Amino acid sequence: MNAPGGSLLVAEGLRKAYGPTMALDGAEFSIHPGEVVAVMGPSGSGKSTLLHCLAGIVTPDSGSIMYDGQDLATMSDAQRSRLRRSDFGFVFQFGQLVPELTCVENVALPLRLNGAPRKQAERTALEWMQRLEVDDLGRKRPGEVSGGQGQRVAVARSLVTDPRVLFADEPTGALDSLNGERVMELLTEAARSANAAVVLVTHEARVAAYSDREIVVRDGKSRDMERVI
């Protein structure tokens, strides 16, 4: 069951303070199934804090977050971490692949953690690596591939469990513009084909152009782009 209005994930009145810093000061957010929403704003405006709250990683001081009709605040830590494993995928700026594992083992890892047998997990992992055009890197370790290739492996890993929401925090932040654009093309293509909603945090307009809708965060407050311009 989705929340009223067909939203999959809705947040209202989010506040989060770190000491004297108001990282979030009444932020709101909503996303529909399969929608790609860019969260824009300057460095330090509260984008990552918003993403962490929406994903149930950080608990806001006040405000509500409803995912698929469930209030995250009423869930136990164990329920929230189960939800993250079953329904959410994550891509970060860098340092997310396990250096000791091969690329295919990295992509298969979320399935293995959910109890899938190795062969089956690696078969599914390779399918996703094909879609991200990195299936030829299967036996290499993250240290042996380029930044852009590593990010595509990370995107494959984030989608391997068929998440309903993909959280991406500056996924191309460490890449040059050509590699960044290719990663964004493949990320949004793969997410759309899997009907996964994408919460895309970025401060680059070029990256936000891949979204269906943009919201802007400033001083911990969020606004729809249309209301800003």
Ligand X SMILES: Nc1ncnc2c1ncn2[C@@H]1O[C@H](COP(=O)(O)OP(=O)(O)O)[C@@H](O)[C@H]1O
Is there binding between residue 202 and Mg ion (CB under 5 A)? no
Enumerate the β-bridge partners of residue 169: 201
Q: C-alpha 177: how far from its chain's center?
A: 20
CA-angle at 64, arms to 58 and 66, nearest 5°:
90
Q: How far is the CB of 82 from ligand X (least distance, A)?
A: 24
Closest residue to Mg ion, based on beta-carbon distance:
48
Q: How far is CA 221 from CA 12, 30, 64, 154, 213, in A?
A: 11, 14, 15, 30, 17
Dihedral sign, Cα of residue 108, residue 158, residue 131, residue 203:
negative
Enumerate the β-bridge partners of residue 29: 11
Q: How far is the CB of 220 from Mg ion (least distance, A)?
A: 13
Q: How far is the CB of 169 from Mg ion (least distance, A)?
A: 6
Report the site for Mg ion in 35-54 (rule: CB under 5 A): 48
Q: In this complex, which beta carbon is closest to Mg ion, that of residue 38 or of residue 111? A: 38
Q: How far is the CB of 19 from Mg ion (least distance, A)?
A: 18
Q: In this complex, which beta carbon is closest to ligand X, that of residue 149 or of residue 202? A: 202
Q: In this complex, which beta carbon is closest to ligand X, that of residue 22 or of residue 145? A: 22
180 binds, among Mg ion, ligand X, none (CB under 5 to 8 A by kind): none
Contacts of 33 (CB under 8 A, 6+ apart): 2, 6, 8, 164, 195, 197
Nearest-10 Cα torsion for 185, 86, 100, 51:
60
Q: In this complex, which beta carbon is closest to ligand X, that of residue 14 or of residue 160? A: 14
45 binds, among Mg ion, ligand X, none (CB under 5 to 8 A by kind): ligand X
Query: Which parts of this chain interact with ligand X (CB under 6 A)?
Result: 18, 21, 23, 41, 43-49
Q: How far is the CB of 44 from ligand X (least distance, A)?
A: 4
Q: How far is the CB of 201 from ligand X (least distance, A)?
A: 7
Q: In this complex, which beta carbon is closest to ligand X, that of residue 160 or of residue 175? A: 175
Q: In this complex, which beta carbon is closest to ligand X, that of residue 60 or of residue 180? A: 60
Which run of H or E residues covers position 109?
Answer: helix 103-113
Name the residues that contact Mg ion, by CB under 5 A.
48
